[in-house]
Structure 1
Amino acid sequence: MTDFFRIFTDPNVQWILLGCMLLGLSSGVIGSFAYLRKQSLMGDALAHAALPGVCLAFLITGSKSIAAFMIGAAVAGVLATVSIGVMTRYSRIKQDSAIAAVLSVFFGFGIMLLTEIQHSGAGNQSGLDKFLFGQAAAMVLSDVYAMIVISVVLIGMCTLFFKEFKLLSFDPGFARGLGLPVKWLDQLMMLLIVAAVVVGIQAVGVVLMAALLITPAVTARYWTEKLGVMVVLSGVFGAVSGFLGTVLSALGANLPTGPLTVLCATVLFGVSVLAAPRRGIVPKLLIRASARRRLLDGKRMREGKERAI
């Protein structure tokens, strides 16, 4: 028990804890709209597309600069978003097929660059593979400041454009009829997802970042029918996952924070599937058992009345 409280006095753990909680919070908020728009794969595509951006940033700068990596990942994410939009707008390719194609091409290109860098003669190329699964322990205070700024921007933009994103998620045709700039709003939402992915690749990695975008949103959907409540719950579930993942990582020996955060989010999802009111498996079984019991009681009462007559 003393170890549990001792970890909160460590400045490094405090930075990682704050960063992972902010990452989970902002990812859960923007991921809610991606989930409702049935674009769960979009976060996965953008996360995988960030890898070649990181590798190219290293090749250009020759150093492992987090700022350069974020810029490279952001440029690659925007390029992937534009590629998906062009493929779906000017061809007969469906969006899911376009996302799968862009995901495969960008990630394959990233793996090729990563392999080339690892076999090159550069003396500081080691550690780039950590961006595949994340390395939250390498975060410093400047990284946390960047997460704070991006999280505030993400949450602020989602709050400011909540009504527009709501219309875009449920009825884009009606939003277009009202005169809203649907294409610009769609690109804005994609840019916000890119920002969430870029800020999260160091902590969670490109492979697992999509899970942190979608899992809290799916979990929140089990608990409410209202979009506003769902967005708030999704952010809370994401922040709780970041908190639990960091604490478990600090208590364990050499346990990675990113995968633990995703596992905690999955556990919360499993609890919601089982116990969430109305939508959970257990409440549904109890409701059915209660209805069956009332039906049998009514049947016995009718049979009793018939015998009495």
Structure 2
Amino acid sequence: MEVLFERTFWIIALGTGLLGATSGILGSFAVLRNQSLLGDAISHAALPGIVLAYLLTGEKSSFVLLSGAIVCGILGSYFVNDIVKNSRLKTDTALGIILSVFFGIGMMLLTYAQSLDDANQAGLDKYLFGQASTLMQKDVLLMLGFLIPSLLLVFTFWKEIKIFLFDAEYAQTLDIPVRKINLMLTLLIVIIIVMGLQTVGVVLMSSLLLAPAAAARQWTNSLSKMLGIAAIIGAFSGVFGSYISATESNLPTGPVVVLIVSVIVFISLLFAPQRGLIAKYLANKEKQKQYTK
């Protein structure tokens, strides 16, 4: 319990909590757009951007490295849209291609960078699996500064976003700027993924983006409620995961957070009142009884 009175713990807990809440909200849009691989593709596409930013500038600051990640993340999402638009490949296939190619390039560049003098001291490898213990107060303020504008954008375009998620073609007939809405949501997802790389890393960030939304989807059919539940699940997983990591030695924060949210997904899949597997099983048994009467 002593850890609850430590300032360092609360900085990490607030950082992971804000990251989880924001990821839950924005990840809901990716889930409802059937773009489950989007988080994977963007997070893996960000890796070469991190390494290139270091190689080109020699700077080790998070701002420089994450700026490179944002550029490559946006570039990756652009290539996905371009492949889908100009070929017969489906979105998931295009996402898989971009994920593999960019991550392969990133690992090759990372290996090269670590072979150089002083490269290991840059801490580039921490972006693979994250290192929440490096979070500082300025990082938490940066997350808060991103969460508030994101919520304002979602609230401002709430009506347009709902129609776009329901039926993009129908939204076009209502003169809703579908391309701009899609670009805005994709850009917000890119930024939150990049911000989460320092905490949970390239490999696990997609799980934190999608898992809260997947769990929330089991409990409600309302978009607004889904966003709220996903935010609560993400925030709880972040704070509780930070607490477990702080009280148990040799447990990294990022994987613990992802493990907690994964357990919540499993519970939701089983016990959700309407969509849960148990509820569906009981409903089917009830139907069978009615048919046999």
In the alignment, what sits opposite 1:195? 191
- In structure 2, what is the Cα distance between the partners aligned to 1:94 and 1:125? 41
1:47 lines up with 2:47 in the alignment = no
The letter for the 1-side match of 2:49 is G
Map of 1:139-158 to 2, 5 A cutoff?
139-158=135-154
- In structure 2, what is the Cα distance between the partners aligned to 1:291 and 1:82? 48
Is there any run of 5+ residues in structure 1 with no aligned partner, and where?
Answer: 300-309
* Residues 63, 124 of structure 1: 8 Å contact kept: no
In the alignment, what sits opposite 1:208? 204
Q: For 1:159, which of 155, 159, 184 is the aligned residue?
A: 155
CA positional deviation for 1:295: 7.3
1:277 lines up with 2:260 in the alignment = no
In the alignment, what sits opposite 2:246? 250
* Residues 60, 122 of structure 2: 8 Å contact kept: no
CA positional deviation for 1:71: 0.7
In the alignment, what sits opposite 1:237? 233
1:168 lines up with 2:164 in the alignment = yes
Q: For 1:114, which of 110, 128, 146 is the aligned residue?
A: 110
* Residues 150, 199 of structure 1: 8 Å contact kept: no
CA positional deviation for 1:91: 2.7
* Residues 34, 40 of structure 1: 8 Å contact kept: yes
Alignment length (residue pairs): 293
Change (3 A) 1:123 1:295: closer
* Residues 275, 281 of structure 1: 8 Å contact kept: yes
* Residues 52, 73 of structure 1: 8 Å contact kept: yes
In the alignment, what sits opposite 1:32? 28
CA positional deviation for 1:133: 0.6
Q: RMSD of aligned C-alpha atoms? A: 1.7
* Residues 24, 227 of structure 2: 8 Å contact kept: yes
The letter for the 2-side match of 1:90 is N
Cα shift readout 1:235-286 (whole Å, capped 9, x = no counterpart): 1111111112111101110211111111100000111111110112233344
1:88 lines up with 2:84 in the alignment = yes
SS at match of 1:224: coil
Change (3 A) 1:176 1:260: same
- In structure 1, what is the Cα distance between the partners aligned to 2:171 and 2:184? 15
* Residues 53, 72 of structure 1: 8 Å contact kept: yes
CA positional deviation for 1:13: 0.6
Is there any run of 5+ residues in structure 2 with no aligned partner, and where?
Answer: none
Map of 1:216-231 to 2, 5 A cutoff?
216-231=212-227
Structure of larger gyration radius? 1
- In structure 2, what is the Cα distance between the partners aligned to 1:272 and 1:194? 27
SS at match of 2:200: coil
SS at match of 1:121: coil
Q: For 1:265, which of 237, 241, 261 is the aligned residue?
A: 261
Cα shift readout 1:216-251 (whole Å, capped 9, x = no counterpart): 111001101111111111111111111121111011
Change (3 A) 1:287 1:90: closer
Identical aligned pairs, as a percentage?
A: 43
In the alignment, what sits opposite 2:128? 132
SS at match of 2:163: helix
The letter for the 2-side match of 1:143 is D
SS at match of 1:223: coil
SS at match of 1:39: coil
1:13 lines up with 2:20 in the alignment = no
TM-score normalised by structure 2 residue count: 0.95
Change (3 A) 1:119 1:34: same
After TM superposition, the structure 1 stretch with the greater mean CA deviation from structure 2, 224-233 or 118-127, is: 118-127
CA positional deviation for 1:288: 4.6
The letter for the 2-side match of 1:262 is V
The letter for the 2-side match of 1:101 is I
- In structure 1, what is the Cα distance between the partners aligned to 2:252 and 2:103? 22
After TM superposition, the structure 1 stretch with the greater mean CA deviation from structure 2, 30-39 or 84-93, is: 84-93
In the alignment, what sits opposite 1:79? 75
